[in-house]
A and B are shown apart, each in its own frame.
Chain A
Amino acid sequence: MKKTMLMVMVLVLVCGLGFATGVKEATTPATPRPAVVKLQVWYAMSGASGEAFTKQAKAFDEARADIELELTYSGSYADTATKVSAALLSGNAPDVAVMAAGQLYTGERGDFSMEQLVKDADFNAKDIYDGMWEYAKYDGRIASVPYGISTQVMYYNKKILAQAGIDLSTPPATWEEFLKIAKQAQAKGNFTNQPDFYGFDTSDGVWLIKSMLYQNGNAVVDSKDGKIVPVFADAKGVAVAEFWKRLVDEKVMPAGQHNNAEKKFLAGSLAFIASSSNRISRWPTSATLELGAIPMPSFTQKSIALGGNGIVILTQDVHNRQAGWELVKYLTKADNQTAFALSTGYLPIRKSAQESQLVKDTLAQNPLYKIAFDQLEYTWAYRHFGEMGTMDANFWYALDEIEKGVLTPAAAMDKAAKALIKEME
């Protein structure tokens, strides 16, 4: 989320510079389609995700004699945002980019909307989850196609919980219940006798607290007279921030150590961690870790914020745009989505992918994947808007100040809200 925040800020900076002249959706081709359309595709995915993506993209390349792909790894989310932004300014943008928050390019000065393309009968847009479409929108218009979407999952170290004598066959439903269990795990589960041992942490506090806000019936931002207004500092939002503070006060979560959370978890010095579902494909079993997962606890209602990537088509060339769309259709086919999801831990965007026998069999055998898939039922997408990066940065400051006792939870949330309002003015 930190990287996403940085990347969003870069996008906004470039939008502020006034980058695009406005790209309209495909019109009637003026020239005949070349025998081979060459497509530049940049992608911000590495690891198992990068491998799974390039494998499918190469299969498409091989299957299509009329389309040739040039695949380029474009770095992290933030690096990709910088690279694409610079390339857009100079007219060297790729035809297609797989990146986070690419929908923000469809802002006031540019239009990379895919509203017309997704009406393609072969595509079956209705088969894609509504929440994921919401995630792909900018200002109410579809500006990307969701791809590589994930939710946070509550992972735990089975060895620690076994040592602490905790049975998770009935997982904690609420954060209060979770806090008790995390405390117990912290008190009795340090089987490696590590000096810096904690019950819970997350590598992405902003992502988690957005989910927690919704779980407590409090939105993050709202729309008033067509303007975005922050509402995260409302009473129920402050209650969430106060719970966050309790995690630190009761010494279950270390203050300001989120950057080390994953390393600590892998080293066996953290009982629980809230992290992206795509970590399933990355984290190994070792002498210090045996991975387990439970559904994310909640406050008054179940709710999990979606996160991840999308595919944007940036080319203005009609033929390349069409070829790019054909690539998008291929990548989002139900069977490809199934394969991608099961090898990465990302979620399939299609409902039909969930219904396949392969998915059912895999989920039956692997409960870790099942947790993320089950959570799809109550996911929601946060609104993408120009100042989103600033808001996330302010959220980080707020969490840091809350954890370190610099400000009260109410004051920190209020400060973050006021900073966002100032930025939007």
Chain B
Amino acid sequence: MGKRKLHGYNWVATFILVAGSALMVFPFVWMVLSSFKTAADVYTYPPRWIPSTWKFSNYVKVFEMIPFLRYYFNSIYTSVMQTAIQIVLSITAAYALTRLDYPGKSYLIGLIRSTMFVPLVVTLIPLYLLVSGVGLIDTYAGIILPQVFSAFTIFLLMAFFSTVPKDLSDSAKLDGCGYYRIMMYVIIPNSLSAISTATLFSFLGHWKSYTWPLIITNKASYRTLPIGLKYLVQESSSEYQVMMAASVMAILPVLIVFSLSEKQLVRSITLTGLKS
């Protein structure tokens, strides 16, 4: 059966999938190869795939130009903390908004939804004043706390929480579970794929966050990787090989988080097509 498919239309499907995959992987491969090129290789036409000389010094140069390790640590620390706090807050909020009944709930949902229509640039200066007023400039808390609320994450989780059959939580209630235990033992275990997806999106968002950390920090010891990368992009505006080296290193944590949540992410995408 399988053999027949392989000799039939599956060749076409395989070809399309391979071609599509190659297209997706191309920028990444190009980035990695370019990170080892010389400046001359980068600008050669026709483009050169393989570096004429493998320049590992591009990576060394990144460390010379910016305090890369410090920025790296700061980015990992702030992104992980922001993601963790955001997911906890969003789970509890989404649970309260989908499973509990109380007066004014629809207004609360409307209020949260309305925050999605206000871009960061509008709230930037008032937020800065607030954070500055409580003395959080040049602190990790100043970077982390203002970015932990996310209406998108709440609504993403709400969409999944509402698909968990109500009968399950009713049964748990009959067994003596309170709101907290229903959330912990019924809702969350049945929504792991959605939580995983939300975690990935949240981490990605925080990992690339640039404007807020730039505004709120002055000392290099608190600055994050996107600020360092921006400096590098401007500093070596014509040295794409150095930028590529920095980008390769910057993208690694994202790949790790993605590989950890990939299974759940695919599952959540599949589940979005199902109806109970």
The listed residue (A70, A75, A90) touching B230 by CB distance below 8 A is A75
A117 interface residue per 8 A CB criterion: no
Say which residue of A17, A47, A70 sits within 8 Å of B236 (CB atoms).
A47
Q: Judge whether A40 is part of the interface by a CB distance below 8 angstroms.
A: yes
Would you call A90 and B129 a contact (CB within 8 A)? yes
Across-interface contacts of B133 in A (CB, < 8 A): 90
Known A-B contacts A284-B39, A284-B238, A289-B43; the reply to A76 vs B125 at CB < 8 A is: no
- Decide if B177 is an interface residue (CB 8 Å cutoff): no
A72 an interface residue at 8 Å Cβ cutoff? yes
Does B44 sit within 8 A of A, measured CB to CB? yes
Of the candidates A73, A82, A94, A286, the one whose C-beta lies within 8 Å of that of B215 is A82
- Which positions 28-62 of chain B face chain A at CB distance < 8 Å? 39-40, 42-46
Which B residue sits closest to A47, measured CB to CB?
B235
How many angstroms between the C-alpha atoms of A393 and B26 in the bound complex?
36
Identity of the chain A residue whose Cβ is nearest the Cβ of B223 in the assembled complex: A73
Q: A47-B237, A86-B129 are in contact. Are A76 and B230 (CB under 8 A)?
A: yes
A193 and B45 alpha carbons, distance in the complex (Å): 8
Given contacts A47-B236, A79-B211, contact A286 B45 (CB under 8 A): no
A89 to B127, CA, bound (A): 11
Distance to closest chain B CB from A262 (angstroms): 8
A214 shortest CB reach to chain B, Å:
28
The residues of A that contact B214 with a CB separation of less than 8 Å are 74-75, 79, 83
> Does A267 lie at the interface of the complex (its beta carbon under 8 Å from any beta carbon of B)?
yes
CB within 8 Å for A46 and B43 given contacts A72-B218, A89-B128, A283-B238: no
A194 to B46, CA, bound (A): 8
Contact residues of A between 74 and 120, Cβ < 8 Å to B: 74-76, 79, 82-83, 85-87, 89-92, 94
Nearest-neighbor residue (CB-CB) of B46 within chain A? A192
Determine whether A217 belongs to the interface, using a CB cutoff of 8 Å to chain B: no
Cβ contacts under 8 Å, A90 to chain B = 128-129, 132-133
Which of A46, A262, A288 contacts B45, CB < 8 Å?
A288
- Docked Cα-Cα span, A288 to B124, in Å, equals 43
A323 to B235, CA, bound (A): 28
State the CA gap A268–B46 with chains docked (Å).
11
A351 at the interface (CB under 8 A from B): no
Min CB distance A335 to B, Å, is: 25
In the assembled complex, the CB of A226 is this many whole angstroms from the nearest CB of chain B, namely 30
* Contacting residues, chain B, for A284 (C-beta < 8 A): 39, 238-239
Contact pattern, A 263-291, Cβ under 8 Å of B = 1, otherwise 0: 00011110000000000001110111100
User: For the complex, what is the distance from the CA of A72 to the CA of B138, rounded to whole Å?
Assistant: 12
CA distance A74 to B213 in the complex (A): 11
In the complex, the chain A residue whose C-beta lies closest to that of B45 is A192
- Residues of chain B lying within 8 A (CB to CB) of residue A405: none
Tell me the bound Cα distance from A284 to B241 in angstroms: 13
Instruction: Give the contacts of B97-143 with A (CB-CB under 8 A).
Output: 124-125, 128-129, 132-133, 137
Residues of chain B lying within 8 A (CB to CB) of residue A283: 238
Question: Are B43 and A282 in contact (CB-based, < 8 A)?
Answer: no
Is there contact, CB below 8 Å, between B215 and A269? no
- The range of chain A's interface size is 35 or more
With A and B bound together, what is the CA distance between A46 and B125 in angstroms? 25
- Residues in B182-226 with C-beta less than 8 Å from chain A: 211, 214-215, 218-220
A23 close to chain B: CB less than 8 A: no
CB atoms of A86 and B128 under 8 A apart: yes
Q: Which residues of B contact A262 (CB under 8 A)?
A: 237
Contact between B128 and A282 (Cβ–Cβ < 8 Å)?
no
Among residues 28 to 80 in chain A, which have CB atoms less than 8 Å away from a CB atom of chain B? 40, 42, 46-47, 50-51, 70, 72-76, 79
Contact of B43 among A74, A92, A267 (CB under 8 A): A267
Q: What CA separation (Å) do A223 and B244 show in the bound complex?
A: 49
Q: Which of A47, A85, A286, A287 contacts B125 (CB 8 A)?
A: A85
The interface residues of chain B lying within 8 Å CB-to-CB of A289 are 43
A288 CA to B39 CA, complexed, in Å: 11
Q: Which residues of B contact A40 (CB under 8 A)?
A: 218
A85 cross-chain contacts in B, Cβ below 8 A: 125
- Let me know if B231 is at the binding interface, CB within 8 A: yes
Contact assessment for B125 and A86 in the assembled complex, using a CB-CB cutoff below 8 Å:
yes
Instruction: Report how far A92 CA is from B132 CA in the complex, Å.
Output: 8
Q: In chain A, what residue has the closest Cβ to B215?
A: A83
Q: CA–CA, A85 to B218, complex, Å? A: 14
**Within the complex, what minimum Cβ distance (angstroms) separates A78 from chain B?**
10
B234 CB within 8 Å of chain A:
yes
Question: Which residues of chain B come closer than 8 Å to A17, judged between CB atoms?
Answer: 125
Assuming the A-B contacts A83-B215, A85-B125, A289-B43, are A282 and B237 also in contact, with contact meaning beta carbons closer than 8 angstroms in the complex? yes
**Chain B residues, Cβ within 8 Å of A50:** 231, 235
Is B94 engaged at the interface, CB distance under 8 Å to the other chain? no
Cα A269 to Cα B129 in complex, Å, equals 47
Answer yes or no: A228 CB below 8 A from chain B CBs: no
B39 touches A269 (CB 8 A): no
Q: A286 to B132, Cβ gap below 8 A? A: no
| Cα–Cα, bound, A231→B215 (Å) | 37
A-B contact pairs, 18 of them (CB 8 A): A50-B231, A72-B219, A76-B230, A79-B211, A79-B214, A83-B214, A85-B125, A86-B215, A87-B128, A89-B128, A90-B128, A262-B237, A268-B45, A286-B39, A286-B40, A286-B42, A288-B44, A289-B43
Besides the known contacts A50-B231, A92-B137, A286-B42, 19 further A-B residue pairs in the complex with CB atoms under 8 A apart: A40-B218, A73-B231, A76-B234, A82-B124, A82-B211, A83-B214, A86-B129, A86-B215, A90-B133, A92-B132, A94-B218, A192-B45, A192-B46, A194-B45, A268-B45, A283-B238, A284-B238, A287-B40, A288-B45
| Chain A contact residues, CB within 8 Å of chain B | 14, 17, 40, 42, 46-47, 50-51, 70, 72-76, 79, 82-83, 85-87, 89-92, 94, 192-194, 262, 266-269, 282-284, 286-289
The 10 closest A-B pairs by CB, nearest first: A90-B132, A46-B234, A86-B128, A192-B45, A286-B43, A46-B235, A47-B235, A72-B218, A288-B43, A286-B40
